[in-house]
Amino acid sequence: MMLKKMLIGLMASVTLVAGAAQAADLAIVSGDTGTGLAFLRSQLDKFEAATGHKVTVVPMPSSTSDQFGQYRLWLAAGNTDIDVYQTDVIWAPQLADQFLDLTDAAKDIVAQHFPSIIESQTVDGKLVALPAFTDAPALFYRKDLLEKHGKSVPTTWAELETTAKEIMDAERAEAGNQDMWGFVFQGNAYEGLTCDALEWVMSNGGGQIIEADGSISINNEQAAAAIDRAAGWVGTIAPDGVLAYQEEESRGVWQLGNSVFMRNWPYAYALGNGDDSAVKGKFDVAPLPAGDGEGARSAATLGGWNVAVSKYSPDPEAAIELAKFLASPEVQKERAIEQSNLPTIEALYDDADVLAASPFMANWKAIFQNAVPRPSAPTKTDYNEVSSMFWSAVHNTLSGNGTAAENLEILEADLTDLKGNGW
């Protein structure tokens, strides 16, 4: 009898201990753009309620380049404080060694996602991260201003220039709005400029900097013409300050009602229609303009964010559970509605609630599927350096520091050195 009691007592305490061990304290790092962190917190509250785990958010700056620099250091040092990383689509090949392989854990859910996105997060057969959302930029335009001035939505960069200038001049002269600009974009020297400039180059038939086979193609006339054209926007249709703009600074000018056009990612759609926005209900989105010359077409750089689990996490099981939750159809649906982020789950593009909140998504499935990837797959662990050389060459040109032809020639030489016998 005694023995039985003791055994039952022992079993109860074992169960208790096991229960306690299952409730993990997790930490996730995420960049802070728009209301993204508040959204993440609201989802984590649900996860905590459902699982008993606790999750702390470690906020990071908005710039993906700054995040990458910090994460690379933490991971290289084997940081055990952070379990889950929100990762940019371009990072998979560079950080693959530091994250757990999610192939097994995700085998029942990968089929929900677009295969190309799963592929972008797969490095040498290892599934490095689960997709949270995908990204493909848009030309945001002021419907009201185009209508007022009798203009149509530009489909080429040349048209955008003319329309932006005409409306900007007229609004300054007639409406007395001296703060009005024609076009805002991301001109700061960081990853965002690589995205914008890849679009200028690709849309002008100038290739994708480094092609899928690893060859360096950027030093060509069509690429140079596209970058020179963009340099001509600075101080004319765009403020000089655009040279320091990231996504949030462009959105700031736009959302105050001070720009006719903006290049930005879909997240700016929901925010622009928020109650505190001066452009609520006054804008729409279209594909980015095409260049001219041979091979010209509208081009969008492929972006997107994922969730990866650190191999140094002390609670890998709970961390994987969290990653799966953040990639799930439920969270992606709310993300699409509240944050206007593009889902990676095909079925959500036909979801009536999603389309009611973000009608543009009906057209964006095709746009993101045709989006141009940055050369992170062919350049593997060198991508960040490649991109930083590219954005520096472009930033120099935009700043009036050399012509595009001069800067692209130097860039080609530097990329060739970096490549060595690699890639």
Nearest distance in Å: CB 305, ligand GLC: 6
User: Which region among 272-280, 303-311, 349-357, 408-416 touches ligand GLC (by CB under 6 A)?
Assistant: 303-311
What is d(CA 13, CA 289) in angstroms, rounded to the nearest whole number?
Answer: 66
- Nearer of residues 89 and 270 to ligand GLC, judged by Cβ: 89
Nearest distance in Å: CB 191, ligand GLC: 5
- Tokens, residue 265: 């990612």
* Residue selected from 88, 161, 171, 199 as contacting ligand GLC according to rule CB under 6 A: 88
How far from 284 is each of 56, 232, 288, 317, 337, CA to CA, in Å? 36, 25, 12, 43, 16
- Nearer of residues 30 and 255 to ligand GLC, judged by Cβ: 30
* Residue selected from 30, 43, 64, 121 as contacting ligand GLC according to rule CB under 6 A: 64
Who contacts 42 (Cβ-Cβ below 8 Å, separation ≥6)?
none
Tell whether residue 237 is a contact of ligand GLC (CB under 6 A). no
Tell whether residue 192 is a contact of ligand GLC (CB under 6 A). yes
Tell whether residue 321 is a contact of ligand GLC (CB under 6 A). no
Classify the C-alpha dihedral 94-95-98-102 as positive or negative.
negative
Please list the residues that pair with 345 across neighbouring strands. 113
Q: Cβ(234)–Cβ(243) under 8 Å? A: yes
Count Cβ atoms below 10 Å from residue 413 Cβ, excluding itself: 12
- Nearer of residues 180 and 210 to ligand GLC, judged by Cβ: 210
Classify the C-alpha dihedral 70-75-79-83 as positive or negative.
positive
User: Which region among 13-21, 42-50, 84-92, 377-385 touches ligand GLC (by CB under 6 A)?
Assistant: 84-92
Size of the site for ligand GLC (CB under 6 A): 13
Nearest distance in Å: CB 51, ligand GLC: 28
How far from 236 is each of 266, 316, 328, 385, CA to CA, in Å? 26, 52, 45, 31
How far from 103 is each of 88, 111, 319, CA to CA, in Å? 19, 12, 15
* Residue selected from 82, 89, 145, 288 as contacting ligand GLC according to rule CB under 6 A: 89
- Nearer of residues 89 and 237 to ligand GLC, judged by Cβ: 89
Nearest distance in Å: CB 68, ligand GLC: 9
Q: Cβ(101)–Cβ(280) under 8 Å? A: no
User: DSSP per residue over 119-130, as a string?
Assistant: HHTEETTEE--E
- Nearer of residues 161 and 199 to ligand GLC, judged by Cβ: 199
- Nearer of residues 204 and 264 to ligand GLC, judged by Cβ: 264
User: DSSP per residue over 158-210, as a string?
Assistant: HHHHHHHHHHHHHHHHTS--TT-EEEE---SSSHHHHHHHHHHHHHTT---SB
Q: What angle do CA 245, 202, 33 make, to 5 degrees?
A: 30
Q: Cβ(254)–Cβ(264) under 8 Å? A: yes
Nearest distance in Å: CB 80, ligand GLC: 27
Nearest distance in Å: CB 279, ligand GLC: 21
- Nearer of residues 88 and 382 to ligand GLC, judged by Cβ: 88
> 87: closest CA among 327, 339, 256, 316?
327
- Nearer of residues 287 and 304 to ligand GLC, judged by Cβ: 304
User: Which region among 143-151, 162-170, 229-237, 299-307 touches ligand GLC (by CB under 6 A)?
Assistant: 299-307
Nearest distance in Å: CB 101, ligand GLC: 22
Site string for ligand GLC, 114-143 (x = CB under 6 A): ---------------------x--------
Nearest distance in Å: CB 401, ligand GLC: 22
- Nearer of residues 86 and 277 to ligand GLC, judged by Cβ: 86
Please list the residues that pair with 87 across neighbouring strands. 306
Q: Where in 238-267 is the site for ligand GLC (CB under 6 A)?
A: 247, 265
* Residue selected from 171, 191, 249, 315 as contacting ligand GLC according to rule CB under 6 A: 191
- Nearer of residues 26 and 202 to ligand GLC, judged by Cβ: 202
In angstroms, the first-to-last Cα distance of the chain is 72
Contacts with ligand GLC, residue ranges (CB under 6 A): 64, 88-90, 135, 191-192, 195, 247, 265, 303-305
